[in-house]
Amino acid sequence: MSEAPRRLSYGSYLQVDRLLSCQEPESLKTGAPAHDEMLFIIVHQAYELWFRQILHELDRIQADFAARTVADEHLGRINAGLSRIHEILKLLVGQLDVLETMTPAGFLEFRDLLTPASGFQSVQFRLIEARLGLHDDARIRIDEQSMRERLAPEDRDKLSADTNPSLLSQLDAWLARTPFVALGDYSFRESYRAAVIAALQRDATSISADPALPEPQRQADAAAIEQALARFRALFEPDATTSTWRMSARAIEAALFISLYRDMPVLQLPFRLLQALMDIDESLTLWRLRHALMVERMIGVRPGTGGSSGSGYLKATAEKHRIFIDLFHLSTYLLGPRDLPALPDALRRRMGFSYGAA
């Protein structure tokens, strides 16, 4: 006789019993239960579940991006996946509000029991950073050690098992293949280069002629424009050792083109994609800052259980561990409609939606 098919229930489908057997407060084992440790565990576990979902989204986004030519119909779902990641990250920032209902004194009731465990060892968080494009060399070192050196061997292996290229490098390759940046006699590079340099030089002239500016401010503004000009020029001399761009010159050029002519129909989805990556970078940075502030509130300037300086280290990661920072820097070189070189008609037609008419 064949067995009756198992009837799915809410509990069996979601494995609720297993899930609810995963909270084991350390303080309970010492016989002095700390009430807030349950919250601490559940908040961290909820993070790990969301991290898993982010990695799941990245799996498909990166598989779509891995194609030699990214299919048009896949661009929409890449954008949808990136937006979903952004929404999850916003939720993760908000989740810290719940944890902050725990007082520093409440945390002290069990904090010592956690050593040497630390969020620093979250493999999924490290995978998200690496898959997005944070390179090991760009990371802040602690006590002269790299992030990997500080992980347990089994966690290090889990990280090394992921051989996916980063989303940043995939983005670079995709942008570098952007058509339309040069067509026939038209070269965006040539027409735009002169326009940006002229606009920045105009800014420099108006700063030096502004009588209302105090001298130290004038010098600082002039130096900032000089630096912006040097960064821009480095794009046209890709071998320049002074280049601080992370992406290739071709990719930056294409990202600029897309951002400037974003209203052209064929550029709308690519533009949304660039926006979504900036949203992700921004919300991840907000999480880093918010987490650093919460840590300061909980433990002041004490070092972390993972051996870092604590909130000081975490604040520095918000500045240094940016991933799509080049996209933000591009804004320095955007021009308003008055200065924007017009696109040739033939190119505009190629980038429009035209149905039927030859």
CA-based end-to-end distance of the chain:
68
CB of 116 to ligand HEM, least distance (A): 8
* Residues 6 or more apart in contact with residue 178 via CB below 8 angstroms: 254, 257, 258, 270
Q: Which is nearer to ligand HEM, 270 or 304 (CB)?
A: 304
In degrees and rounded to multiples of 5, residue 343 shows phi and psi of -80, 145
Q: Which is nearer to ligand HEM, 221 or 296 (CB)?
A: 296
291 is in an annotated binding site: yes
**Segment near ligand HEM (CB under 6 A), from 12-20, 162-170, 205-213, 313-321?**
313-321
Determine the 3-state secondary structure of 324 from DSSP. Answer: coil
41 is in an annotated binding site: yes
**Segment near ligand HEM (CB under 6 A), from 66-74, 114-122, 239-247, 328-336?**
114-122
Q: How far apart are CA 319 and CA 301, in angstroms?
A: 19
Q: Can you say whether the dihedral through the CA atoms of 292, 296, 298, 300 is positive or negative?
A: positive
Candidate list 62, 79, 118, 191; residue touching ligand HEM; CB under 6 A: 118
Q: Which is nearer to ligand HEM, 195 or 299 (CB)?
A: 299
128 is in an annotated binding site: no
Tell me which residues in 261-300 interact with ligand HEM (CB under 6 A). Answer: 291, 295, 298-299
42 is in an annotated binding site: yes
> 302 to each of 110, 127, 146, 266, 310, how far by Cα in Å?
16, 27, 21, 52, 6
Element (H, E) at 187: strand 186-187
Task: Using the CB atoms, write b or e for 270-285: b if 16+ within 10 Å.
Answer: bbbbbbbbbbbbbbbb
Q: Which is nearer to ligand HEM, 90 or 262 (CB)?
A: 90
Tell me how many residues contact ligand HEM (CB under 6 A): 23
Candidate list 65, 107, 188, 245; residue touching ligand HEM; CB under 6 A: 107
44 is in an annotated binding site: yes
| Residue with the two structure tokens 């799996």 | 59
CB of 233 to ligand HEM, least distance (A): 33
Candidate list 314, 325, 330, 343; residue touching ligand HEM; CB under 6 A: 314
